[in-house]
Each structure stands twice: as C-alpha cells, then as structure tokens.
Amino acid sequence: MKFLRVGAPGQERPAVVDADGKWRDLSGHVTDLAGSDLDPDNLRALASVDLSTLPVIPMTERVGPCVGHVPKFICVGLNYADHAAETGAEPPTEPILFAKATSSICGPNDDVIKPLGSTKMDWEVELGIVIGKTTRHVSEANALNHVAGYCVINDISERAFQIEMGGQWMKGKGCDTFGPIGPWLVTPDEVPDPLSLGMWLKVNGHQYQDGSTKTMIFGPAFLVSYISRFMTLEPGDIISSGTPPGVGLGQKPPVFLNAGDRMALGIDGLGEQHQLVVAYEEQS
C-alpha cells in the first residue's frame, strides 16, 4: 500500500492511495502515520478496509512528510560504491552514521530554504527506511520484519557548513527544510527488492543523478540490524541510506543550488518530489 499525509503543516491527516490513484482519507481508521500505527501488522490490517467507502481528498491539497512525529532521523554516509569513488573517498568498511535534525523534515514538494551564509548547497536523492516497531539488536535475517516501509528522501546538504566549519556533518545536514520526505510511505510488499530500485534527480531540468540502490555498500537489512546495536530504533525513526553519484560537489567544476532553482527527484515505485529553492527571510 501507499500511504501519505495530507494537509497544512502540523495539521496533516493520514491517507492512502487507492487502485485508481485517488487519495482516500484514513482518519477514521488511524490517528496518524506515526508511532504504533506504523507497526507492520497494523499497516497490513488496513488492507482489509474497503477504500471505496473512504472520503476522497482533493489532489490539490499539500502533501506533508509521509511520517509524523519522527523520533530520530539517522543518515548513512558514503554508502554507494560509485558515490564514494566520485568523492575520492575509500569505501567504508562499516557504515558511517550521522543524524539530521528532525526540525529539517518537510513535505516532498515544500519550498527548500537556502540558509543564511550558504555558498555550497547540494542535493542527494536517497532511499528512506521507516522503522515500524521497537528494534534492539535485531539480526540481519529478521531486520526487515521491523520495517514499516520505504520512501524518497532528499538529503539536502550545505557543503561549506559540513566540510569547512570544523568537519561536523550535522551542521551542513540539519538546516530547516533540508529533509523533504515522501510523497508516499510504501509498504514492503510493494518493494520486494529494495536493492534494485532506480533513482534520479534533476535540477532545472538537467539530470545529475541517475543511479540504483544496487550499488549500495550496506543494504537496508544490514543497516537496520547494525544501527540497532548502538541505539534502540523506535516506530517512526527514519534511516536515510545514502546517495548514488551525481551530487553537486562531484561535478567538475562543482555545481551548487541557488534561490530560484528547482529540483525534481524520484525512486522507482516510491514517487517523486519537486522543490523550489527560496532565499532565507529573516523573521521579525
């Protein structure tokens, strides 16, 4: 199934995409796509709902992040062999982990804000793995049983903040609107092989990223198992699993985002995102 959250920021309601592509309101069956509602058993139970009886939501409404109340936003660095080669880095022997601030999360088509002082704003299309139930020290063989589904993420980065200001990745990753998520949370039954998904990203119509999850160094099952050794994964946690080559930093010469640029990105079966880059406006 394909789930989404629709409505104004902070007022999103759960919805599902029916067989005809219409959005159906799930508010009568779940409070949100968050917490215990993300348990894989609970999501599977929704398959028995007669979607034709649910109210239709106009497709003109805003699409919000496909997961609500995210406890942790965990990212994996240099997790594609071809992207590591693009950056000149040695492929890691164990996953490189960092976090994005949950305040960076926004809807898949929301405007993306270029931060004050930003000079090297970059893009990264990534496969998101959404945790559905509490996970500690899970084996790789059982790890995917703890996954609620998958989604598209744009792991937007500010490279000058990330690399040139003390080498702390979180500075360049956690800015407001740097984590568009969605449009859909797609259940694992519709993603039989998460390691064979094509993924792409364009800026102003020019395609920069054209890759596949098949070049991941560490796949979703390994990542869930590995990360659960170091912290408890909770329902709604999101793992952003790395990006293929074609990021702005890897261009010759490098190319970075400016206000007025438009990004489009997607992953096979998981939908597309569309974002306009806007200048930061100081609050009064």
Measured CA to CA, the distance from residue 222 to residue 247 in angstroms comes to: 25
Question: Which amino acid is residue 233, in one-letter code?
Answer: L
Q: How many CB atoms lie within 10 A of CB 20?
A: 9
pLDDT value at position 284? 40
**How confident is residue 83, by pLDDT bands cut at 50, 70 and 90?**
confident
Rounded Cα distance, 158 and 168, in Å = 11
Q: What is the pLDDT of residues 8-23, one digit of tens each?
A: 999 999 999 999 999 9
Residue 210, token pair as written in the block: 């054209």
CATH class of 65-279: alpha beta
Give the rounded percent of residues in the chain with a pLDDT score beyond 90.
90
Contact 2, 51 (CB under 8 A): no
Neighbours of 23 (CB within 10 A): 20
Q: Which residue has the tokens 């395609």?
A: 207
> CB of 61 within 8 A of CB of 1?
no
Residue type at position 88: G
Q: Provide the whole-model pTM.
A: 0.96
**Measured between alpha carbons, how far is 229 from 95 in angstroms, rounded to an integer?**
12
Q: How far is CA 211 from CA 26, 94, 200, 205, in A?
A: 34, 22, 6, 17
Strands 179-180 and 185-186: unpaired
Q: Which residue has the tokens 């000079």?
A: 119
pLDDT in tens, 184-232: 999 999 999 999 999 999 999 999 999 999 999 999 999 999 999 999 9
Average pLDDT for the chain? 95
Higher-confidence residue: 46 or 85?
46
Question: What's the average model confidence in pLDDT over 63-90?
Answer: 90
What is the chain's Cα-based Rg? 18
- Can you give the residue ranges of every domain in the chain? 65-279
Per-residue pLDDT at 160 exceeds 60: yes
Nearest CA-CA partner of 237 in 108, 149, 122: 149
Distance, CA of 269 to CA of 6 (rounded, Å): 19
pLDDT band, very low/low/confident/very high, at 282 (cuts 50, 70, 90): low
Query: Do the beta carbons of residue 46 and residue 30 sit within 8 Å?
Result: yes
Backbone torsions φ then ψ of 89, nearest 5 degrees: -95, 150
Which helix H or strand E contains 151, and what residues bound it?
strand 147-154
Count of CB atoms situated within 10 Å of the CB of 139: 11
Q: pLDDT grade, residue 166 (50/70/90)?
A: confident
Q: Which two tokens stand for residue 116?
A: 């004050």
How many alpha carbons fall within 13 Å on the CB side of residue 64? 19
pLDDT-wise least confident of 130-139, 157-166, 225-234: 157-166
